[in-house]
Amino acid sequence: MEQPPVISVSQLSDILQGVLETAFPCVWVSGEISNCTRAASGHYYLTLKDETAQIRAVIWRGTAQRLKFQVQDGLQVIAVGPIELYAARGTYQLTIEQLIPQGLGPLELAFRQLHDKLAAEGLFEAARKRPLPKFPRTIALVTSPTSAAVHDMLQVITRRWRQSNIVIVPVPVQGEGAAEQIAAALRKVHLIPEVDIVITGRGGGSLEDLWAFNEEVVARAIFDCLIPVISAVGHEIDVSISDLVADRRALTPSEAAELVVPHRDEIRAELDGLRGRLTRALQGKAARARWQLESLSNRRAFTHPRERLHDQTRRLDELTERAVRAWRQRVMSARQQVQSLAARMDALSPLQILERGFTLTFHAGQRSPLKQAAELRVGDLVDTFFQQGQVTSEVVSIRPDQSLISGVESEINAPIE
């Protein structure tokens, strides 16, 4: 028996690859995405599975960039593409060229995914939304310059309020690259002099036509814009991601024009109302002032001005008289105190002692009175002062005996018979 030809692994892989690619040039496979990873190169590697089987799949970067929604585990999808053999590992895989979500369209799925992502980051929070200026100096319209929407906005703004300047920042509002150009314009609009409000949007259309305003790059540009933004995308029933991020949502471009400026007739009516209230307030204030003036003019001080002067004159005379009496009383009290002090000082005077029969003795020629006999020596000269007269004598003896003084006191105090 002749032995069959022997082939290499590479040759077998080439044969199998040819069979697979010829037999399955394009298949439509329904399944659930799992084990999904995105490589740094931008390619997606994943597994499609059902209850009993699974197949490896890949989405190359070019295809991934065209997808509107985020590829993630758990999505039920229909994957379209050829079956190819990955010879390096000896496995086959589905190369996905088109991915269709089941149950939701790809744009609706992308909208929901981006909505949940931005909501979690707080881009839709009402607390961060800024108030709109009531009287804008310059309004920037970031939209297509040839659209019916911009024509409607210009017509409404100029009819309502002509004091604001309008600058049109031309951008495409649909098609490839529209979102990036809208975002770039929003990031630079604050450089236009005196711009203090921005309107971005377009007229109605299909979801695909409005999709530029559902792109993440536009949403983040609105969030980062240094000037308050009004979003006006589509018709009343259309709600875009831009509407949710913007400081104010308008149902239509025409409504955005109504929101951005006041109506001159309303302002005129408001000014007329203010003028009326101010006039009535001033008239009321003048009436109250007139009543107060009349009330003051009827007071007795104004009707009998001399009476007030006479009352004050009498009051002054009374105060003067009271002051004089008080001064005299104080002088008399002071004189009595001086006399009392003089009497007390006179009683303490040495001269009063002399009047009672006592004498004062000093060393001759000195002015310090002698208090004790021990201060003298035999032979000292002393001056003795009486009530009338002075005697100079010499000390011949000294007897510092207290008993002698007591005897003298007894004799002095003895009654006279």
Which pLDDT value is given to residue 244? Answer: 94
Which pLDDT value is given to residue 111? Answer: 86
> Where do the structural domains in the chain lie, given as residue ranges?
9-103, 112-264, 352-409
| 3-state helix vs strand vs coil in the chain, percent to 5 | 45, 20, 35
Q: What pTM was estimated for this model as a whole? A: 0.54
Which pLDDT value is given to residue 405? Answer: 54
Tens digits of residue pLDDT in 322-331: 899 899 899 8
CATH number at 112-264 = 3.40.50.10550
Which pLDDT value is given to residue 152? Answer: 92
Which pLDDT value is given to residue 89? Answer: 78
Tokens of 194: 């005196």
Which pLDDT value is given to residue 92? Answer: 84
> How far out from the chain centre does Cα 302 lie?
55
Which pLDDT value is given to residue 158? Answer: 92
Instruction: Report the alpha-carbon distance of residue 241 to residue 110 in Å, rounded.
Output: 11
Which pLDDT value is given to residue 26? Answer: 86
Q: Which residue has the tokens 């207290």?
A: 402
**Domain 9-103 belongs to what architecture?**
Beta Barrel (2.40)
Q: Print burial letters for 119-149: b (CB count within 10 Å at least 16), e (below 16).
A: eeeebbeeeeeeebeeebeebbbbbbeebeb
74: which strand partners? none
* Runs of H (alpha helix) within 122-215: 148-160, 178-188
Tell me how far CA of residue 321 lies from CA of 315, 334, 335, in angstroms.
10, 20, 21
Q: What residue ranges of the chain have pLDDT lower than 70?
A: 1, 104, 300-305, 347-353, 357, 400-417
Instruction: Report the alpha-carbon distance of residue 9 to residue 19 in Å, rounded.
Output: 15
Beta strands in 97-149 (DSSP E): 98-101, 138-143
Q: Which amino acid is at 209?
A: D
Rounded to 10 degrees, the C-alpha dihedral 20/24/25/30 comes to -130
